[in-house]
Amino acid sequence: MSSMFFLIVLIALMFGMTWWSSRKNKQRQGQVQDFRQTLKPGVEVATASGLLGKVVSVDLEKEQVVVDSEGSLSRWRIQAITKPPVVPAYVHDDEVDEEGNPLPEPEEELDGSQEGPAQSGGDPSGEHSEPSQDGHAADTEHQEPKVAEGSKEEPSGDRSVQD
């Protein structure tokens, strides 16, 4: 009795998955058909082979589209035309903090109350230098942290995501 119930549930599950899959495919086909019907000159498109360009003309009777890619015209079947890929904006590591939040814009002093490098007698960068043990000025602002031998810590720099 339990094996018969299990078999009925399994068959019902297979029919449900088939119905759900075909419904999603029909929705996707409808979206593609709408996109192809609304193609007009000036719309940015991509082809199935990866060519990026703008539509120059559309012939729905012959199902052909002429695409301009950097001055080169080419004729394509409408079935090969897709929406262009979305290119994400690149953000450099120096523009965000550790959590990925944008850093605030640096505010410049507009009142002129700060001494310039010529008045302070310091270096032109305006950074403070302290003499090192051997008497030479050492830039304490940009020194890499010293790592003890045998330590696995790497010096800081551009961070990359590793899988």
CATH number at residue 38: 2.30.30.140
Per-residue pLDDT band for 110 (boundaries 50, 70, 90) equals low
The per-residue pLDDT for 55 is 93
Average pLDDT over residues 70-82: 91
Asked, for residue 55, whether it belongs to a domain, the answer is yes
- How many structural domains comprise the chain? 1
The per-residue pLDDT for 57 is 93
Per-residue pLDDT band for 95 (boundaries 50, 70, 90) equals confident
Average pLDDT over residues 18-35: 88
**Its pTM surpasses 0.75:** no
Distances (CA, A) of 45 to 12, 52, 61, 83, 153: 41, 6, 20, 5, 47
Residue scoring higher pLDDT (99 or 161)? 99
Asked, for residue 61, whether it belongs to a domain, the answer is yes
Angle, CA 77 vertex, CA 35 and CA 85 arms, to 5°: 50
Q: What is the residue range of 56's domain?
A: 27-84
